[in-house]
Copies of this chain bind each other. A is one copy, B any other.
């Protein structure tokens, strides 16, 4: 069935540094009208890396929206027009100090397609070499590395609860990359 929603009116109600917000009225498949709140987000990239010792570096960060700390794979937002693979290499080095030549795609996820167009590209990295840590100016984070079993247990116990980190790790397992 064709359930596309045709935009009838669109109003940008907020234009931010990172996100924009639009209110739209759309025509539903039955001809009725519905109201939609839509967030525009630049999208991002997360990299699950395996160090020479088999451990996976995770980033511990305070996330203001949830007022809590998370453990996440190294990740960052896409700059305008930036290729996901370039962003992934950049963020991995910025946050962990590891460089990588090649990234293997783990696909992408829509974190919350009901209200935001954000897409998160995920990559797998191995054969890392030493680079230079240089986090963004307003970014404060710790990096700690865990074994594959430790990460799996942190996911199953919900200590890891960041969507891209859960998806990237479990996709690596399903793809038998470990």
Contact = CB atoms under 8 A, between A and B. Distances in A.
Contacts of A32: 138
B156 A171 contact: yes
Contact of A3 (B4, B36, B141): B141
Contacts of A113: 63, 65-66, 70, 72, 162
Contacts of A44: 114
Q: Tell me if A's interface is mostly helix, strand, loop or mixed.
A: mixed
B166 A63 contact: no
Copy tally for this chain in the complex stands at: 2
A122 to B, nearest CB: 10
Contacts of A63: 110, 113-114
Contact of A115 (B3, B14, B65, B161): B65
A24 to B, nearest CB: 7
Contact of A37 (B1, B18, B108, B112): B18
Interface of A: 1, 3-5, 13-14, 16-19, 21, 23-24, 26, 28-30, 32, 34-39, 41, 44, 61-67, 69-70, 72, 77, 107-120, 138, 140-142, 152, 155-156, 158, 161-164, 166-167, 170-171, 173-175
